[in-house]
Structure 1
Amino acid sequence: MMNRCNIVLFAISLLFSSSLIAGTIDVTKRGAKGDGVTDNTIIIQKAVDECSKKGGGTVLIPSGSYLIRPIELKSNVNLHLDFGTLLLGSTRLSDYDHAFPFKDGNMNQSSGLLFARGQKNISITGFGTIDGQGGNKAFQFGNDADGGPKRPKIIYFVECQGIVVTDVTLRNSAYWVQHYEKCEDVTIRGLKVFSHCNYNNDGLDIDAKNATISDCYIDVEDDAICFKSDHPDFCENITVTNCVTASNCNAIKFGTASHGGYRNIAVSNCVVRRAAEDNIRHWSKQLEHISADVTVISGVAIEMVDGGIIDGITVSNISMRDVQTPIFIRLGDRHRTYRKEGGVLKNINISNIVATAESLIACSITGVETSYVENVSINNVQISYPGGGTSDMVNKPVPEMTKSYPENRMFGNTLPAAGFYVRHARNVRFNNVRFDAMKPDVRPLFFLDDVVGAELNQCKGAAPADAKFIRTVHSSGIVADGKYLDK
């Protein structure tokens, strides 16, 4: 009986294996050449089209170097890159003219080397590498804010459902490395991303619903992991975990585009560190009081400036080094794209953070006079910082900057607080927040301006819990270790 069962199982496995083989197209069997010179676009595109037309399958790209122009992925197709496979993007900008999922879109809605719109069940897998060759002079037009033609991303999926991207290496993009816009059911796992060859080299931009991002290593010139919201719908129901991020800008960022909003997103168990290269920013030469040559702007940046809603964000278990500002939370009023009311930023929980800061731009939580940040909890945080703050820094007015681009330095190269500067906020809680300065710093650890309801428990620094510990201006309902400070 047992032998009969084994025979049946063996037969089933053979059928399953043969079906997989039958559904796989090896592009070298169709004439593709991995010599790094031959244009393989037509052969690979035909293989993708054939697989999709037959109901699905795998397009296999064996080891070798394959030059390609943009490839459009289609439903139920897995593009699999064997170990040792290298896809090289064309360096002719005109080759990307047809690869615009949003042909009339804004600067961010550019072309993609691998692109798709409105497709289902598409995947890119394997241990191969995709190189956008974005350092080529054909793509050098400076920052996108300065204009110039649109530059291609390596991966750009729009309005797709059921996306899986795993294990591949992405490098040298001409623009953002990868962008998932208005997509649903997205799995991104085990990616190695390295791109320092051009301006705007974001590592991973996601404007999606129901997504998991895990086990990625991202080292880029611009923002490492960046949540986007360019449409009325929420970017929501997303987890990010077990990632190493390195950036010359922000490591984990919500924004800047924040037209619809962000909801129900959790980031955990990640590491933030300096980028391996700094070919553009050189912050220590641009800004005062930067104590390291290469730095990340903000470890965690949560920004709402376009009239949308941020509600329900948790960030936990993050280790940061080489950051200018560990935590930056900003509610501004730059645009009101889809809502007549001002933006909303509420229900933020940040916990278990260990950070080494390299500037005098403290953490900040700021709204504007017409819109308050609400319900923010900062728990179990330990921050080391250079120190050296002066009384002039304490007394220097902090501009409102209501409509300005949100960045840690938007208020200046220093802030009146050594630890947290909070303005235009309601119901803010700090529990077990500790600070350690390398040099004496006369600034209070906490500076609260126009804050209604703040609770501080077991928060400590070099100074005792007195005037040097906290300063309040136009604030009420401030409690430190059970004692009301405004009574």
Structure 2
Amino acid sequence: MRKALLLLLTSAAFNIQAADYNIMKYGAVNDTTQLSTSALQQAIDDCNRDGGGRVVIPTGSYKIGTIVIKSNVHLHLEHGATLYGSTRLEDYLPMKSDYVSLRTQTSTIQLIYADKANNVVIDGYGTIDGRGRTFKKLSWNDEGITRPHLLRFIQSRDITIKDITLKNSGCWMQHYLACDRLTIDGIKVFNRNNYNNDALDLDGCHEVTVTRMMADSDDDGITLKSTSPRLCENISIANCIVSSHCNAIKLGTETNGGFRNINISNIVVKPSYDQKEKFFGQWIGSSAISLEIVDGGLMENVNVSNINVEGTESPIFIRLGNRARGYQLKGTDFDSLIPIDHVGSINGIHLDNIQIRNAGAMGCSITGLPNHPVTNVWLSHISIHHKGGIKASDLPEIERSVKDEKEKDYPESTMWGCLPAKGFFVRHTRNIHFNDITIQTEEADVRPDFVQVDTE
């Protein structure tokens, strides 16, 4: 009797944990001419109210506007299920968080939104397609304003995004802001249909693992940002394949807090198979690895290893600048930023076992500013092969270009054009170590492998 009762209780507990909320029972329709937003939202709300479970998107095609994910909700897309974003701007709800950041003080629109949600899973072998090409770029800072993000999580904890395919956002594909304990595993991202088409943006997040992601983006690929004083820290990124017209792996551009304890390994960087159009960047990509501090903030204990790179114009870019863009206080507008009154720091970077083939001829750079050097960088076992071809007659123009420190400029690996070194141009640095560096060019190139200015 006791055994039977135990089995019954165990079965009941399992059923509670595995409760499903199928959106078809809430009135969703397998028809992209009709909205299923309210059906999906009601299923999410009921699941959250009941303490959690799975909201199931069955095989089929469903059109939605903005939905809000809540705590303890597991959104599961079955194989063959696709959520399509509406192409009407009025179907997207403006959302505003109380988090203080450059990216939150204006109401933003997105297809899937969460703020202060805990214990959330989005998984399955289905697809979420934002149909972002519909939303035209109307102004310089219109991302999330008139062009929706696809996925945006703010101040959320214990989040898992697994196995799904994400396509065609109006701007950034995924923005995780001030989130903790985030896991991204085995997802596919295709984002080449509009401006600002990043694949992944981690912004002031802690305790993050990203593994087995395949990303093909017009703008930056895997991007860490810090649009508030909150650092990105304790982050592991591994075993990914990334294509980008811009920067495949990037720490920056926004760096109010900075980056600490970042491990990136076993990444393949390659050009996209789809080279029909380009909104930003370079056809073969701007950089493979960009590590930047330009808005105050610090960068320390960053390790990048086992990277195979095909293409990119200027593969490795480490930059300490002084753009000094601030962040916002709660309740202020975009024009009222807290000023940044200091130059940040870069200290303790390790780059190891990086193979680069068929790159552009620009070269790589490690640059600080006068009296603000980049310090303690170790580069080892790096092989660079690029087209070369720079002649002696090209050198005067190259030297004129790099005399400009460009202290306040937007940091970009191509910001000086062709560099004085065919390997590494190093300026305003202290304690930079090179070990086992090989530079090869297809065509004869008169530049030395290394050029150093104000280094110790």
User: How high is the TM-score relative to the length of structure 1?
Assistant: 0.85
Aligned equivalent of 2:219, options 222, 225, 237: 222
Q: Which consecutive unaligned segments of at least 5 residues does structure 1 have?
A: 285-293, 453-487
Matches within 5 A, 1:42-61: 42-61=38-57
Per-residue CA distance 1:135-189 (angstroms, 9 max, x = gap): 11xx111673589944211100001011111011000100100100011000001
Which residue number corresponds to residue 483 of structure 1? none
Query: Please, what is the CA RMSD of the aligned residues?
Result: 2.3
Which residue number corresponds to residue 79 of structure 2? 83
Aligned partners of 1:62 and 1:435: how far apart in 2?
Answer: 53
Matches within 5 A, 1:465-480: none
Per-residue CA distance 1:40-86 (angstroms, 9 max, x = gap): 11111111111111211111111111111111000111111111110
Aligned equivalent of 1:185, options 181, 186, 197: 181
Q: Does 1:435 align with 2:432?
A: no
1:356 aligned partner, one-letter code? R
Q: 1:106 Cα shift?
A: 5.2
Which residue number corresponds to residue 309 of structure 1? 298
Structure label with greater radius of gyration: 1
Q: Which consecutive unaligned segments of at least 5 residues does structure 2 have?
A: 327-338
Aligned equivalent of 1:119, options 95, 102, 117: 117
Aligned partners of 2:103 and 2:82: how far apart in 1?
Answer: 28
Secondary structure, aligned partner of 1:324: coil
The 8 Å contact of residues 114 and 155 in structure 1, kept in 2 or not, is answered as yes
1:429 aligned partner, one-letter code? H
Aligned partners of 2:148 and 2:325: how far apart in 1?
Answer: 29
Aligned partners of 1:147 and 1:373: how far apart in 2?
Answer: 32
Q: 1:372 Cα shift?
A: 0.6
2:258 aligned partner, one-letter code? G
Q: Which has the higher contact order (CA 8 A, sep 6+)?
A: 2
Q: Does 1:30 align with 2:26?
A: yes
CA 1:331/1:282 → structure 2, altered by over 3 Å: closer, same or farther? closer
Secondary structure, aligned partner of 2:119: strand
Aligned partners of 1:276 and 1:317: how far apart in 2?
Answer: 23
Which residue number corresponds to residue 380 of structure 2? 379
Per-residue CA distance 1:421-445 (angstroms, 9 max, x = gap): 0000000000001111111111000
Which residue number corresponds to residue 411 of structure 2? 406
Aligned partners of 1:235 and 1:319: how far apart in 2?
Answer: 25
Which residue number corresponds to residue 254 of structure 1? 251
Q: Does 1:95 align with 2:91?
A: yes
Which residue number corresponds to residue 452 of structure 2? 448
CA 1:420/1:307 → structure 2, altered by over 3 Å: closer, same or farther? same
Q: 1:388 Cα shift?
A: 1.2
Matches within 5 A, 1:358-369: 358-369=359-370
CA 1:248/1:74 → structure 2, altered by over 3 Å: closer, same or farther? same
Percent identical residues:
39
Secondary structure, aligned partner of 2:388: coil
Matched residues, number: 435
The 8 Å contact of residues 35 and 62 in structure 2, kept in 1 or not, is answered as yes
Q: Does 1:129 align with 2:140?
A: no
The 8 Å contact of residues 93 and 110 in structure 2, kept in 1 or not, is answered as no
Q: 1:239 Cα shift?
A: 0.4
Aligned partners of 2:253 and 2:116: how far apart in 1?
Answer: 25
Q: 1:14 Cα shift?
A: 4.0
1:407 aligned partner, one-letter code? E
Q: Does 1:173 align with 2:169?
A: yes
Q: 1:340 Cα shift?
A: 3.2
Aligned partners of 2:142 and 2:15: how far apart in 1?
Answer: 54
Per-residue CA distance 1:103-151 (angstroms, 9 max, x = gap): 9975686322110111111111111100001011xx1116735899442
The 8 Å contact of residues 336 and 343 in structure 1, kept in 2 or not, is answered as no
